[in-house]
Chains A and B, each alone.
Chain A
């Protein structure tokens, strides 16, 4: 079935780096744009970044611009989020989500999330 599975979360110290992965299955991965969305404890959803179906276009929320990098490997059906210079305010559950088309659109598939805790 159509599925997104995140991994790579954990507890890290401020200023360090972490890479999240999102493995996709059940659909033609290279046809869809993909996003990262996060949710801090007790808070609402926050869009983080998007990558187009072919990887040529990438956009970021101001809160992570210059620190986070979104990428994808269409040969491995996997989405990534490279997070550098992590801060306490980056603590959140990180979800990957699929657009319903090759570019920005409604998110119609969600992963189950992976928790990232930034703490000394």
Chain B
């Protein structure tokens, strides 16, 4: 069964960096994912598509502070030089032949 696992929460200080993790279920470590950001009271925004080799393609207007990387079944989103507007929920998303899957989301708090 295709499942994505995320930690419910994370925090980091203003100006620092944070690395969020999304883990693919067993047998699915070759899958690409996408990262999405949802700021409070807003709809989701596409950040990037992240492949298993770590290559990624960001959406239009996404700052260089956002980057992605991969290791095995883990997919990472790194945000550097944290700003207050980065405080948001972050969701990973993947897909199978006939199904779409979201992780449970990570709530990022900027201290």
| A residues adjacent to B (C-beta < 8 A) | 35, 37, 44-47, 50, 59, 61, 93, 95, 97, 100, 104-113
Contact = CB atoms under 8 A, between A and B. Distances in A.
Contact of B46 (A50, A110, A113): A110
Contact of B36 (A50, A61, A107): A107
Nearest to A57: B98
Interface residues of B, number: 25
B45 interface: yes
A109 B46 contact: yes
Choose among A44, A97, A112 the residue with the greatest number of B CB atoms under 10 Å from its CB.
A44
Contact of A108 (B46, B102, B105): B46
Interface string B51-66: 0000000010000000
B22 interface: no
A50 B100 contact: yes
